[in-house]
Every structure is written in structure tokens, then in C-alpha cells.
């Protein structure tokens, strides 16, 4: 079995690392679409078209299982791909697993940091509320972070200025912070530092969608009859 990862840019590293820790013997291949990144600043239809095209490239290379290692692509394109565009193919996104982690973890008040394109779908709230509609879910769009990370800037004043603005919108008493973009774990140190600076507490529990997808991948394979 080979796992094929697709992301708009560098976020694949975080997701693929998490899968490699869980499944060190499985071969993994990645495909990025840096030419069109960031997806998070694009329209809904552009994100869908670019994701369909990228995933088609993987199927053209005989991919069997595709992991959509991008939250923005997952919230926009996963459902249509599974139900209309690539019916019967194995495609896994990164958003359902973290929603399960929220509910399994008993969290009742979570906030999500994500790209603007992700936040405007309100899909995160929907995903969690399908499982438990009593969980309070707030979402903050964070434009500007992905372009900096794509340039290799993971810390420093440019990142801190944006984080100060976004993290100060969060309520200080949240139980978990969801890093709703696969690029954000790459700036985890800056997130921790700025959270403490702004809220005078340590960072709440962090939920990382890539990590949760890897942890729940075996269950997904069983549900899709890929393994017994």
C-alpha cells in the first residue's frame, strides 16, 4: 500500500510526519500545488477546481489512497470529490478526525484558527455539531500566515504581529485550540509564546488535524474495508 498526500504547500510535512510516526513501514508520496498556494485566499470554486486537478494527477499516477493534507481543500472539496467527482475512490480528509478528537476528549468550548476560506464555510462547526451540538465552536480566520510560512518564515516579528492580532480575539477560557490549517503546527513555538503574552496563561490543549487523522487512520481503513 502507498499513501499519496496532497496539499497546496508545505503543510503536507506536518501531516506526513504524523503518518510516518504511526506507520513507519508504509511508503508515502506527496504532491504540492505551490504554484497556486495559498488556497486560503482563493474563491470556493477555485479551491475546488485546483483540488480536483491536483487529486486527478495522483489518480493518473495510479494512486490508491489519497490523503487530502489540507484543511482548506478538505472543507471545500472532500464531500464533492467523494460524492460526485471521484466516486468509489479512497480519499481521506483531515477535518473529520479532529472533530472526533474534540468530542472524544470531552471538550465543550473550542476555538479554531484557520484560513479565511476555511472559516467562511462554517464547516468546522458543522463537523463537530454532527457529533455533539452542545460544543461551543468559534472560528478565527488568519490571513497572511500561510504566505509567510511558505517563504520559510516560521518565527519573528512578522509572524508575531499577525498572531497577536488573531490570538487576542480568542476567549482566554477555551479548553482547546484547533490548529485548523496544516501549516500552523510549523509555527507552534510562536503560537505558544504569543498566547502566553496575550492571555497570561499557558496555551490550552492543541488539536492538530494531521496528527488526529494519522491516529484514526486504521479505523478509517477498516470502515472502508481496506484492512480487516
Catalytic residues: 70, 181
Q: Find the binder of ligand DGL among 9, 97, 185, 204 (CB under 6 A).
A: 9
Rounded to 5°, the CA angle 62-63-67 comes to: 165
37 forms part of the interface with ligand DGL (CB under 6 A): yes
> Cβ 42 to ligand DGL, closest distance in Å?
8
Cβ contacts of 126 within 8 Å, gap of 6 or more:
none
Binders of ligand DGL among residues 106 to 145 (CB under 6 A) are 115, 118
185 forms part of the interface with ligand DGL (CB under 6 A): no
> Cβ 18 to ligand DGL, closest distance in Å?
13
Q: Find the binder of ligand DGL among 4, 8, 63, 212 (CB under 6 A).
A: 8
Q: Find the binder of ligand DGL among 4, 5, 39, 166 (CB under 6 A).
A: 39
Instruction: State which residue, 62 or 206, has the beta carbon closest to ligand DGL.
Output: 206
Q: How far is CA 73 from the centre of its chain?
A: 9
Find out whether 90 and 6 touch, Cβ atoms under 8 Å: no
40 forms part of the interface with ligand DGL (CB under 6 A): yes
The site for ligand DGL, by CB under 6 A, has a size of 17
Q: Would you tell me how many other CB atoms lie within 10 Å of the CB of residue 228?
A: 5
210 forms part of the interface with ligand DGL (CB under 6 A): no
Find out whether 66 and 6 touch, Cβ atoms under 8 Å: yes
**C-alpha cell belonging to residue 213:** 487523522
Instruction: State which residue, 71 or 190, has the beta carbon closest to ligand DGL.
Output: 71
DSSP conformation class of 124: H
Q: Which residues pair with 201 in a beta bridge?
A: none
> Cβ 37 to ligand DGL, closest distance in Å?
4
Hey, what's the torsion of the CAs at 136, 178, 76, 24, to 10 degrees?
-140
Instruction: State which residue, 71 or 204, has the beta carbon closest to ligand DGL.
Output: 71
What are the strands, taking DSSP E only, across 143-189? Answer: 176-179
In the block, cell 497572511 appears at 144
Positions touching ligand DGL (CB under 6 A) are 7-9, 11, 37-40, 70-72, 115, 118, 146, 181-183
Amino acid at each position: 500500500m502507498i499513501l499519496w498526500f496532497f496539499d497546496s504547500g508545505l503543510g503536507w510535512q506536518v501531516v506526513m510526519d504524523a503518518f510516518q510516526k504511526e506507520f513507519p513501514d508504509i511508503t508515502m508520496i506527496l504532491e504540492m500545488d505551490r504554484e497556486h498556494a495559498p488556497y486560503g485566499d482563493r474563491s470556493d470554486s477555485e479551491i475546488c477546481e485546483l483540488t480536483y486537478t491536483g487529486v486527478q494527477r495522483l489518480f493518473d499516477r495510479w494512486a490508491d489512497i489519497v490523503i487530502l493534507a489540507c484543511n482548506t481543500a478538505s472543507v471545500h472539496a472532500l464531500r464533492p470529490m467523494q460524492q460526485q467527482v471521484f466516486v468509489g475512490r479512497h480519499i481521506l480528509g483531515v477535518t473529520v478526525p479532529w472533530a472526533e478528537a474534540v468530542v472524544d476528549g470531552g471538550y465543550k468550548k473550542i476555538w479554531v484558527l484557520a484560513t479565511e476560506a476555511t472559516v467562511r464555510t462554517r464547516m468546522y462547526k458543522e463537523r463537530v455539531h454532527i457529533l455533539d451540538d452542545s460544543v461551543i465552536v468559534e472560528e478565527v480566520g488568519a490571513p497572511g500566515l500561510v504566505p509567510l510560512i511558505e517563504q520559510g518564515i516560521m518565527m519573528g516579528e512578522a509572524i508575531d504581529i499577525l498572531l497577536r492580532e488573531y490570538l487576542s480575539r480568542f476567549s482566554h477560557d477555551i479548553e482547546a485550540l484547533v490548529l485548523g490549517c496544516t501549516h500552523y503546527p510549523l509555527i507552534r513555538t510562536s503560537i505558544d509564546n504569543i498566547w502566553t503574552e496575550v492571555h497570561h496563561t499557558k496555551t490550552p490543549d492543541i488539536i492538530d488535524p494531521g496528527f488526529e487523522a494519522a491516529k484514526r487512520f486504521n479505523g478509517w481503513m477498516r470502515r472502508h474495508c481496506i484492512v480487516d
